[in-house]
A and B are shown apart, each in its own frame.
Chain A
Amino acid sequence: MAESNVKVLGTWASPFVMRVKIALHLKSVRYEDVEEDLLAPKSELLLKSNPVYKKIPVFFHAHNPICESLIILQYIDEVWTTSASTILPSDPYERSQSRFWAAYVDDKFFPALRRLVIGATEEDKKAALAEVVEGTVVLEGAFGELSKGKAFFGGDNIGFVDIALGSLLGWIEVIGKQCETKLVSEAKTPRLVQWADCFSAHEAVKDVLPDVDKLADFGLKLRAKILKALAPTN
């Protein structure tokens, strides 16, 4: 069903925006895609609809703005309820486990990935790389627990943790190429490697994950912008 009052303010390159789009595709909800240029000054719409963080994604439903990707995912799951595609499990304990691992991705794994890109010294980058690799091993373990032998963290279908982690796959590949390492390796994390393939090929995902070369090119420009902002001013 076409929804005229559903809008996503974001950019094709942001994994946090990808999460929202994957969730909407999963629920078969049509939306208006509004592109924010990360290399340009922030738009009026962004500043007005997310005054606290001034960040994408912002999700609009009937003109109400909702911010923070994992919160948006929970909103989408609660509003569009079709039994075929739930994002969080229905059992409260399993829901808490899904929330825990999605929070781990955001609070531990992603910051380590980010430090790998913007680390100032070789030592910083080496430490960040070790953290990222350790993180993948921890997530391999989590996959074993949550998937219960099925293809996804969510079981038979993709769910909250799949979307939280899977949205990072493009950047994981780009950053890995820059470091000349496979961050999600067959040797250490064979199940994650298989999961990554299944996730990327999923109907709700394949049109959302961007082309890796295009992402790499954008990454260089974004990195330059971030480093410039972090540089000490004299």
Chain B
Amino acid sequence: MSKAKLVILDCWVSPFCMRVKIALNEKGLEYEAQAEDLFGGKSELLLSSNPIYKKVPVFLHDGKPLCESIIIVNYIDETWSSPPLLPPCSYGRAQARFWADFIDKKVFDACGNIWRSKGEVPVEAKKEFIEILKQLEEALGDKDYFIGTTFGFVDIILIPLTSWFFALEKIGGFTVEAECPKLSNWMKRCLQRESVAKVVPPPEKVYEFVLMFRKMQGID
């Protein structure tokens, strides 16, 4: 067992793991990222600390395990209060939780409908994905970040998923910038933050991974 106080059981390409690392970076916390080989065989530590889902990320605080990325980000925010990731007012917090939950329910699966498709990507899959992004763009409005002027909870939940968008654009034959320019600007803004840039891999690297994964699954 690692001597580090804060440990994340990690996979470099997982947007869910990226969320946790960004939150830790925002709080200025040191942590150890232990890479899990999701294809070679999950570690004993992963299987014993997340018996229900057996998935990354798992966050260990002094050995106590926490699972599910949004729950972990909430825990980090509540345990280390500065800077706050959620707005101070209850209604704003409810709105932030709503959009984080929406992102979790909708975005990753819609991405999957594109990158997992064999042959031509169905028009419905592309349409659904763009519609979801447009809903998010509407929620963003003219603000710099989802919760107004400061980078926070919703931004942290969404920005990692955007590292997969380049792969979707190549496979699906569209661009997010053309369809959702405000969201595209928000992406660039977030990627300039050190806490994010340190964690989110180059889109080309994610694309390579997706292509390899497609071959493995017999899709390509």
Contact = CB atoms under 8 A, between A and B. Distances in A.
B78 A79 contact: no
Contact of A66 (B72, B74, B78, B98): B98
**Chain A contact residues, majority secondary structure:** helix
B90 A79 contact: yes
A96 B101 contact: no
Interface in A164-197: none
A181 to B, nearest CB: 23
B98 A67 contact: yes
Contacts of A66: 91, 94, 98
B79 interface: yes
Contact of B75 (A72, A78, A95): A95
Contacts of A104: 52
Counting chain B CB atoms within 10 Å of each CB, which of A67, A75, A92, A96 scores highest? Answer: A96
Given A66-B91, A66-B98, A68-B101, A100 B79 contact: no
Contacts of A68: 97-98, 101
Contacts, number: 53
Contacts of A222: none
A108 B52 CA distance: 10
Interface in B48-76: 52, 61, 64, 66-68, 71-72, 74-75
Contacts of A96: 66, 71-72, 74-75
Nearest to B66: A96
A83 to B, nearest CB: 18
Interface residues of A, number: 22
A95 B78 contact: yes
Nearest to A97: B66
Contact of B93 (A78, A95, A108): A78
Contact of A92 (B68, B79, B101): B79
A12 B93 CA distance: 27
Nearest to B64: A93
Given A64-B91, A75-B90, A78-B90, A100 B71 contact: yes
Interface in B88-125: 90-91, 93-94, 97-98, 101-102
A103 B71 contact: yes
B52 A138 contact: yes
Contacts of B78: 92, 95
Contacts of B68: 99-100, 103
A67 B97 CA distance: 10
A99 B101 CA distance: 13
B75 A71 contact: no
B135 A52 contact: yes
A75 B94 contact: yes
A71 B101 contact: yes
Contacts of B72: 96
Nearest to A53: B102
A75 B79 CA distance: 19
B102 A75 contact: no
B91 A75 contact: yes
B71 A99 contact: yes
A99 B74 contact: yes
A179 B93 CA distance: 41
Contacts of A108: 52
A135 to B, nearest CB: 10
Given A66-B94, A75-B93, A138-B52, A52 B75 contact: no
Interface in A31-75: 52, 61, 64, 66-68, 71-72, 74-75
Nearest to B78: A92
Nearest to B90: A78
A212 B36 CA distance: 48
A74 B93 CA distance: 9
B66 A74 contact: no
A52 B75 CA distance: 27
Contacts of A52: 102, 135
15 contacts: A52-B102, A52-B135, A66-B94, A74-B94, A79-B90, A92-B75, A92-B78, A93-B75, A95-B74, A95-B75, A96-B66, A96-B72, A99-B71, A99-B74, A138-B52
Given A72-B94, A75-B91, A99-B71, 19 more contacts: A66-B98, A68-B98, A71-B97, A74-B94, A74-B97, A75-B93, A78-B93, A92-B79, A93-B61, A93-B66, A95-B74, A96-B66, A96-B71, A96-B74, A96-B75, A99-B68, A100-B66, A100-B68, A103-B71
